Structure 1
């Protein structure tokens, strides 16, 4: 018999029966016979036949296909060591970072990525010995590291709430603060604005979502919060006008 016993985004604890039948068990779950149980305290996510639980706390746990932000922490002979906020260090190999043929005996890899650089990458592989392989090919900003801006961290399980359904929440913050924002599924968020005060406001909004992600009416409150702060900045002469935007509320808080 094929059956799911929980609802998407439902909060579960270790040992909760999630489903039975020919489902695939993903992160945060284990299988016993034909039944799947939760191994962590977290939120249920159902994607087709895949069932997983996103932990509410703890470090980011990698999954192949995730888009993440990372910081270069070491430059080696043929690869870079990258911190992505996971329990284990990730690796970006030369062949996964550039289309060019690189002579490793003659090329200083620091000219491509150096220690401290922030990159936007995809998790290409993650195996049972905790080896995490990244790739930047095909990703935005493939040509180099992210320049300027600030890096903010939030709880990885709250990333869907920050994005919002159809991108509603993150687009609201971007448009009202006139900033560029990249959200990694590892909970790292890069924010860059031409105006320092608007950049700070965008960061404040992101951290507010992290704190209040469990509450209802957050999108409407966020719009009100940003509008009030923007009016104050206008009165101070920091900005010329307050942007006007109409956004639909997102009470479900799920990214599409």
Structure 2
């Protein structure tokens, strides 16, 4: 693992990142909830970008990976602000955002807030509004009571022995960043990739996003049998093929 560089944001958070110099538009990978920039998809995209001579950026949100802060201190608004700082300060010109799971929600927030910086968007099992529509909606009465009384609740994780600690702040802040309740104009090319065997993000979420977003070049590809990780060799190849279809070839 190479030593990362660090960006200190206006909020004082230190974001770990790896940047590859190359042609534009560059590619920026936005990871998922409680994941980091050392995952299979991030490294695959970095290798592809280097081979293509294209600029690439991967980074850790605060409270994730090698960045500062504790995971349970953060929320969607914080991580979206981290991503906006990285996009603004570490890239030049419009970028193609590749957002995995929660990163898909972050990518949509960036595309809505600063469309001039987004040349294209690829969502991999994008999970917009998941704090409300998946977490809060799935809590039973005891979990909601615990969240209110104690400020957090533990949920089992399929990706770690340790549970996810879901805070009341995460849920309440998420309500201020929902993208499926108001107009969502996406005037850049948008490609959504979704596995039919995804146990974390149902196909209905991808269909709802496809129906809700406004734009002339938005496409959804369903991959039979693909799970939420979307990291099998054929899935990774599809991600880079999708990228190649919406960015001009480098010289």
Question: Could you state the TM-score of these two structures normalised by the residue count of structure 2?
Answer: 0.22
Name whichever structure is richer in helix by fraction.
Answer: 2
Structure (1/2) with the larger strand percentage: 1
Higher RCO, Cα 8 Å, sep 6+:
2
| Rg (Cα) greater in structure | 1
Question: TM (normalized to structure 1)?
Answer: 0.22
